[in-house]
Amino acid sequence: MNDKILLIVNPIAGRGRAAKSVPQIERDFNRLGIKYDIVFTIRQWHAAELAEDAAKKGYKAVVVASGDGTANEVLNGLMLARKKGNNKTAMGQIPVGTGNDFAYGMGLSDDIDECITVIADYTLRKIDVGFIKGGDYPQGRYFGNGIGIGFDATTGFVASRIRFLSGMLVYFIAALQTIFIYYNAPRIRLSYNDKETIMEALQISIMNGKRMGGGFHFAPNGSPFDGLLDVCMVRSMNQFKIFSMIPYFIKGTQGKRKEVLEDRTTKIAVVAEKGNLPVHCDGETICYAGKELFIQIYPAVLNFITKA
């Protein structure tokens, strides 16, 4: 087993924050005696390929300096390596992206020095990993934080085109645009826990972590260590009522609202009976107009570097 960490950096993550953070990361790694190699991503899915190769070569861990999207690629690379028997490489993250929701669910802060101290301490904990099939991924794709279907996904697509802001403000502005311009709710059938729910759905969030969109707590009690998916289902409503719901999702108190249904499960099937399903997975596009999805959780399958 290689005693080195492979540090994967997405230089454009966080509107360039990741690239700017590299000197600080390397200083801290050297100061704390962390042995590492460093590589920069240059295209989509590059991080997944690098992570899978790192596991094959026996690196003790892959640490990604990025936001949610590149972290998702690394997770996929390590899970693909695991299927081939290369399952000893752990994952870690230094969250320097726009939303950093995956890291938040893992209990990591946005403070670079603090995250590097966590890496140096090297406490491992097995995390649950989700899996989605459907849309543009009939073969499936893994996720660490969550799936957004409907309004949340459309908001994410709009947010990706906003270049002049960062953090939660990007998603807030995108949500406002989505409310008044873009979104039509589909009729959805959800099958899980031996029951069916059919609804005109504004949004369906299927969570392994706690939040998405840089600060919207769709699953305030979600945990990547409990072996369950938290499901938040929101009924369709008029535009002005959607706007009034935003503070509840920021605080994570939406469960008190009659328009919201919450549940937990290990697997769920989602079918659009009318309309289409815009879907994202950890902020990465699964499809713009899907029809059927199957989502499940794999409990405690990947070692993650976390706080002691």
Backbone CA torsion sign across 275, 278, 281, 282: negative
> Of 105-119, 157-171, 219-233, where does mean pLDDT reach its minimum?
157-171
Residue 20 φ/ψ, nearest 5 degrees: -65, -25
pLDDT score recorded for residue 240: 81
Q: 43 near 53, Cβ under 8 Å?
A: no
164-173, 187-196, 249-258: which has the minimum mean pLDDT? 164-173
Domain 5-121 carries which CATH code?
A: 3.40.50.10330
Question: Using alpha carbons only, how large is the chain's radius of gyration in Å?
Answer: 19
Which whole-number Å values give the CA distances from 177 to 99, 174, 183, 301, 303, in the listed order? 18, 5, 9, 38, 39
Q: Could you tell me which CATH number the domain at 132-299 has?
A: 2.60.200.40
Q: What is the pLDDT of residues 255-303, one digit of tens each?
A: 989 999 999 999 999 999 999 999 999 989 999 899 999 999 999 999 9
So where are the chain's domains? 5-121, 132-299
d(CA 258, CA 278): 24
SS3 31: helix
pLDDT in the model for residue 170 = 72
- Confidence band of 174 (pLDDT split at 50, 70, 90): confident
Instruction: Name the burial class of residue 88, with classes exposed (0-12), middle (13-18) and buried (19+) by CB atoms within 10 angstroms of its CB.
Output: middle
Mean pLDDT taken over the chain: 92
